[in-house]
Amino acid sequence: MASPVPVVRIAPSPTGDPHVGTAYVALFNRCVARRGGGRFLLRIEDTDRTRYDASSEGKIFEALRWLGLTYDEGPDVGGPNGPYRQSERTALYREMAETLLAKGAAYRCFCTEARLEELRATQRAMKLPPGYDGYCRRLTPDEARKHLAEGRPYVVRMIVPKEGETSFTDDLRGVVRFENRTIDDQVLLKSDGFPTYHLANVVDDHAMEVTWVIRAEEWITSTPKHVLLYRAFGWDEPRWTHLPLLRNADKSKISKRKNPTSLIWYRDQGFLPEGLLNFLALMGYSLPDGREKFTLADLEATFDITRVSVTGPVFDLEKLKWLNGEWIRGLSDDDLAARLVAHHVRRAAAPTPEDATHPVLTWMARHPGADAAFASIVRRSAPLVKERIRTLEEYGEIAACFFHDGLPTYPAADLVAKKRTPAESRDALVAVRARVAAAEFRAPALEAALRALADETGWKPGDLFTPVRTAVTGAKISPPLFETMELLGRDTTLARLDHAIAALSA
């Protein structure tokens, strides 16, 4: 049964934005495939026509590509076991449903939605466990034939034995048992002709030679139904592993309302694919040596699925930001700059209302076509901000001083040094202006000049730099002052100092 080469898959539904949980499950699946020298495939489970979202599939491809979670087979990359879209495989499911019908492992159910609802209401009222009552299972062949001839809509349900139990072995939890009487006669083929997950999943995994099902924990309760289907078809069961569910802070299954779940959000927020992936791996997994920062390749090289923990991890955005910051600090200046440029170019292509005040995006809007100038500013500022940002998006806050076209605005009070009067601060700025004007415009020279000034006037360096910082950057928090002045250049720096002096003279 245990195939030497694992064939695994992820099977997301195209019902909205690509979900962080999809990436999470994809990550572990891919690790298993890579480690075992096997194959990893992507199958689109688009059998729910009411929730189908045409734009979703492409976004799933894009998000997985962004993360580097590439697959060996899939709708967009092809493969020998296609098509990889379930809506294109409906003939197969119908055929397989017929097979089950012929084997006496399934039956047609003509119950209407109304009857089912009534049944559920009754069961609820009588505090009975919900579930199909098997009405159509007891139909005589003649009755069934008659209904069919009348063209009454029907679904195909699987026949679950009333006695005994069905169990399976989960890699992380051992044997899991279910009494058959607690398992419902699951619908396999819907009245619209599309299969339910249960049928399609089993049929496709078998057809696509999947040997190992690694999916989220929410599927555990459905697994005995799948086991029963494999048996009804006479097929070998795959190996089963159920991964823990990512959680909100309140421990409930991660959801849009309580936590960002869209992979697109994480990308637009400026998380690096390496950082997100690394963080996801930390949710339930750890390397034996305890190292927390590692690459996908590191993970794949040593991955051991038995090390995955089974408790549902709370998704902690703060730790993600820290880890992403670690990744950013580990980037070369060139790489960081390239990513910052790409990030802002993409952001600019799809602006949001809040972006109207974004320092970087508004600069780009004011300077159309100034790609080279933009890239230059970003490249030169990258080393100054590298230790100060945890996401690419945070660049805009700390680097705003490089993107003012005119003069920066700020409260004049910010120009006043600690324990000094506005007049004293103005005089200090006048002196600073003179030294700066005379200095070579390089950070070390500028710093030396102003430190000398502080020394001569009896100011503490830090106190003297405060008004200068506000004047030059327009903010109390900024990249290192002298490097910033050098980057801004003599003209801009002097203009800003003059503006500050004027503000304090008013």
Partner RNA sequence: GCGCCCAUCGUCCAGAGGCCUAGGACGCCAGCCUUUCAAGCUGGUAACACGGGUUCGAAUCCCGUUGGGCGUACCA
C-beta of 40 vs 348, nearer to RNA: 40
Segment interacting with RNA (CB under 7 A) among 5-13, 33-41, 62-70, 267-275: 5-13
- For 435-466, b where at least 16 C-beta lie within 10 A, e where not — what string? ebeebebebeebbebbeebbeeeebeeeebbb
Cα separation, 393 vs 390, in Å, equals 8
Residue 389 Cβ, how far from RNA at the closest point, in Å? 7
Tell me whether residue 356 is exposed, middle or buried, using C-beta atoms within 10 angstroms of its C-beta: 0 to 12, 13 to 18, 19 or more: exposed
- For 248-278, b where at least 16 C-beta lie within 10 A, e where not — what string? beeeeebeeeebbbbbeebbbbbbbbbbbbb
Residue 317 Cβ, how far from RNA at the closest point, in Å? 9
Pick the closest to residue 343 from 270, 445, 257 (CA basis): 270
Residues with Cβ < 8 Å from 35, sequence gap 6 or more?
300, 301, 302, 303, 304
C-beta of 184 vs 333, nearer to RNA: 184
C-beta of 260 vs 480, nearer to RNA: 480
Which of 146, 162, 251, 256 is the catalytic position?
256
Among 133, 292, 333, 355, binds RNA (CB under 7 A): 292
**Mask of contacts with RNA, 459-488, x by CB under 7 A?**
--xx--xx--x------xxxxxxxx-----
| Residue 73 per-residue DSSP state | B
Backbone angles phi, psi at 214, to 5 degrees: -120, 105
Kindly state whether residue 94 participates in binding RNA, applying the rule CB under 7 A: no
Among 29, 47, 166, 261, binds RNA (CB under 7 A): 47
Number of residues binding to RNA, judged by CB under 7 A: 87
Rounded to the nearest angstrom, the gap between the alpha carbon of residue 465 and the centroid of all alpha carbons in its chain is: 42
Segment interacting with RNA (CB under 7 A) among 64-72, 100-108, 193-201, 431-439: 193-201
Pick the closest to residue 209 from 31, 33, 22 (CA basis): 33
Q: Prior bond to 461 cis, omega within 30?
A: no
Kindly state whether residue 190 participates in binding RNA, applying the rule CB under 7 A: yes
Cα separation, 34 vs 197, in Å, equals 27
Identify residues 242-261 at the interface with RNA (CB under 7 A). Answer: 244-245, 247, 250-253
Identify residues 198-217 at the interface with RNA (CB under 7 A). Answer: 217
| Long-range contacts of the stretch 128-131 (C-beta < 8 A, 24+) | 129/182, 131/184, 131/185
Residue 218 Cβ, how far from RNA at the closest point, in Å? 4
Identify residues 97-116 at the interface with RNA (CB under 7 A). Answer: 111-113, 116
C-beta of 245 vs 453, nearer to RNA: 245
Kindly state whether residue 318 participates in binding RNA, applying the rule CB under 7 A: yes
Cα separation, 130 vs 113, in Å, equals 15
List the beta strands (DSSP E) in 265-398.
Answer: none
C-beta of 28 vs 364, nearer to RNA: 28
Residue 7 Cβ, how far from RNA at the closest point, in Å? 19
Among 169, 309, 376, 505, binds RNA (CB under 7 A): 309
Among 326, 333, 355, 427, binds RNA (CB under 7 A): 326
**Mask of contacts with RNA, 366-395, x by CB under 7 A?**
---------------------xx-------
C-beta of 364 vs 396, nearer to RNA: 396
Residue 205 Cβ, how far from RNA at the closest point, in Å? 12
∠ at Cα 284 (279, 288), nearest 5°? 90
Backbone angles phi, psi at 244, to 5 degrees: -65, 160
Kindly state whether residue 498 participates in binding RNA, applying the rule CB under 7 A: no
C-beta of 6 vs 474, nearer to RNA: 474
Contact between 46 and 201 (Cβ < 8 Å): no
Residue 425 Cβ, how far from RNA at the closest point, in Å? 15
146 an active-site residue? no
Active site residues: 256
